[in-house]
C-alpha cells in the first residue's frame, strides 16, 4: 500500500499515531468501490477473482465465455463482474463504471 497520498512532507512511511487502521479502511473502501469482484478478459479467458468466491471458466468459444461461481463462505454474496476484451481494456472507464456493472447473487 502506498500512503504517499495521505502523507505530508517529512512524514513518508508514517501513519497517524495509534490509528493505522484508518489507512486500511480507506484502502478497502476504495477497492470495493473501484474494482469488480470478478474481472474477466473474454478474449483470452484470463480471470482475476478479488472477492471471497471461487470462479472458473467452464466454457469458452469465439463469441462467449461461461464461468462457474460458488460462494464457500456462510455469508450471502453480491459479486460484481466485469468482462472486456483487449480493445475495450485500452479505453478508460468512467469514474463510477463498476457501480453500473452486472452483479451475481
Q: What pLDDT is recorded for position 13?
A: 56
Q: Nearest Cα to 105, choosing from 75, 83, 60, 61?
A: 75
Domain range annotation of the chain? 37-104
Cell of 104: 451475481
**Section 80-101 average pLDDT:** 87
CA distance 28 to 85: 27
Q: What pLDDT is recorded for position 45?
A: 86
Q: What pLDDT is recorded for position 70?
A: 95
Share of the chain above pLDDT 90, in %: 41
**Section 15-43 average pLDDT:** 75
pLDDT of 24 strictly over 90: no
Residues 69, 61 contacting (CB under 8 angstroms): no
Question: In the chain, what is the greatest distance between 2 CA atoms, to the nearest angstrom?
Answer: 54
**Section 58-71 average pLDDT:** 91
3-class secondary structure per residue, 41-77 = ECCCCCEEECCCCEEEEEEECCCCEEEEEECCCCCCC
Amino acid at each position: 500500500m502506498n500512503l504517499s497520498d495521505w502523507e505530508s512532507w517529512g512524514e513518508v512511511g508514517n501513519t497517524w499515531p495509534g490509528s493505522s487502521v484508518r489507512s486500511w479502511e480507506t484502502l478497502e473502501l476504495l477497492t470495493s468501490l473501484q474494482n469488480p469482484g470478478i474481472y474477466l478478459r473474454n478474449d483470452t479467458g484470463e480471470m482475476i477473482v478479488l472477492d471471497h468466491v471461487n470462479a472458473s471458466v467452464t466454457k469458452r468459444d469465439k463469441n462467449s465465455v461461461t464461468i462457474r461461481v460458488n460462494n464457500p463462505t456462510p455469508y450471502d454474496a453480491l459479486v460484481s463482474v466485469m468482462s472486456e476484451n483487449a480493445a475495450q481494456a485500452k479505453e478508460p472507464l468512467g469514474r463510477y463504471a463498476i457501480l453500473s456493472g452486472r452483479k451475481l447473487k
